[in-house]
Amino acid sequence: MSSSTDHNEKLLQKYLDGQCTVAEIEELYAWLQSTGSHRSLLAAMQQEFQKTMGEHHEIPSEVSDRMETRLLQDISREKVVKFRQRTRIRWAAAAVIVLLLGSGMYYYISSVSSRKTFTTSNNALADTGDIAPGTNKAVLILANGDVVTLDSAGNQVINQGQTVVRQKNGQLEYAVQGNSDAVVYNTLTVPRGGQFHIVLPDGSRVWLNAASSMRYPTAFNGDRREVELQGQGYFEVAPNARQPFFVKVNNLEVQVLGTSFDIMAYADEKSINTTLVEGLVNVKNGTTEQRLKPGQQAIVDPATGSMVVRTADVDEVIAWKTGFFEFDNASLGAILRQLARWYDIDISYNQTGNERLFGGRISRSLPLSDILHMLEANGSTFSLSGRKLTVTSGK
């Protein structure tokens, strides 16, 4: 590593730690703007800053403290999210794990045998169209069979007996007015390329990931609250000890007493994973039952019914809810399955038994081409035709 590159890398980390002087900020941005290989980082900074401005209409103090006047001028009011230290790896919350070396920006790969690197490039995707990331969208199937299309901008009110359903932008809210013994069931289906947030009649909140669905009653009567899930959902359950909450996934049942947890149960994944963030849950599969503590994950093999409990990386599990892909020793195949759901693409990939493992944190708001550019190295190449992605080499 050259002395100048080493200096610039240290300068970047110093800036992200909020310790740069104005003169050092000017030097850093002159360097970042000096070569096209750093433009994706600057674009990610701009994207995150604009998102924050749209949500808060002001610069948060933790950002403004590090964004001197020159920064606002140089990168068109862009935001830099601080790297955080984690198992000796620098994580960039705006885009991906980043290190800056002599050859330009490159991304960290966690490998079984050694640390690898792969550079950004513009080969296979240069002459193809791009695909935008997913959005808030879903389809609500009412008990009478009527279908209501939901999206990010929609606002509407649906009356179902004593229940009023309100769509507010990217969220669905249920409110029960009066008492009624007549309970009907709705199904919220989120397609590939979508996500959606729902507030159930008891006040519990559920975030559904792409290619997921949930069947639930319009009111919770009786001695238990029960919903059925396919795909992936993050739950924040309203406490009610007299009426425990249950989530059913095929033969698996998760019993809840006021808690936050994630269930991942896609048909194309090898296991059903229940991860507890806080509170208490019992995971039952057939005659096997385990009680989870916060930070633990129950892994069930649908084929055998076996269940294993382990300590989970909660940040990685719920990264999708907070707007990121996060990988820790993930195979290319596992990454591609997530991309297929979020970008609504079909993937042709002949998986090998000797896949390289990746680690990184990538914004889900980036276009597909940006993600693929990060993966185009060390022999991995892609071709995109319409919505079909072909992996021509992934070894």
- pLDDT given at position 273: 97
Long-range contacts of 140-144 (CB under 8 A, 24+ apart): 140/165, 140/172, 140/186, 140/187, 140/188, 140/189, 141/186, 141/187, 141/188, 141/189, 142/184, 142/186, 143/184, 143/185, 143/186, 143/218, 144/184
Q: How confident is the model at residue 77, as a pLDDT?
A: 29
pLDDT value, residue 119: 30
Average pLDDT rounded to a whole number, residues 215-241 = 94
pLDDT tens sequence across 49-99: 455 545 554 444 444 434 433 333 333 323 322 222 233 223 232 333 222
Q: Does 30 or 289 have the greater pLDDT score?
A: 289
With both helix axes pointing from N to C terminus, report the angle between 368-375 and 332-343 in degrees, rounded to the nearest 10: 170
Confidence of residue 267 (pLDDT cuts 50, 70, 90): very high
Residues 6+ apart with CB under 8 A from 57: none
Q: Comparing 207-211, 231-235, 363-367, 378-382, which segment has the lowest mean pLDDT?
A: 378-382
How far apart, in whole angstroms, are the C-alpha atoms of residue 50 and residue 170?
Answer: 19
Give pLDDT, residue 39.
Answer: 55
Packing angle, helices 368-375 and 39-56, rounded to 10:
140
Over range 269-284, report the average pLDDT.
Answer: 96
Give the pLDDT confidence score for residue 2 in this predicted structure: 60
- Residue 362 host element (H or E): strand 357-363
Tell me the pLDDT tens digit for each residue of 111-163: 222 223 333 333 333 444 689 999 999 999 999 899 999 987 778 888 887 78
Angstrom distance (rounded) from CA 187 to CA 357: 37
104-109 β-sheet, strand order: 98-101, 104-109, 116-119
Q: In this structure, what token pair is assigned to residue 228?
A: 């059925």
Q: What pLDDT, on the 0 to 100 scale, is given for residue 330?
A: 84
DSSP-derived pairing of the beta strands 171-176 and 104-109: unpaired
Question: Can you give the pLDDT at residue 44?
Answer: 54
374 pLDDT above the threshold of 90: no
pLDDT band, residue 177 (cuts 50/70/90): confident
Backbone angles phi, psi at 246, to 5 degrees: -125, 140
* Residue 28, pLDDT above cutoff 70: yes
The three-point CA angle 370-373-375 to 5° equals 120
Greatest pairwise CA separation for the chain in angstroms: 75
Residue-range domains of the chain with CATH = 3-109 (no CATH), 135-317 (2.60.120.1440), 324-393 (3.55.50.30)
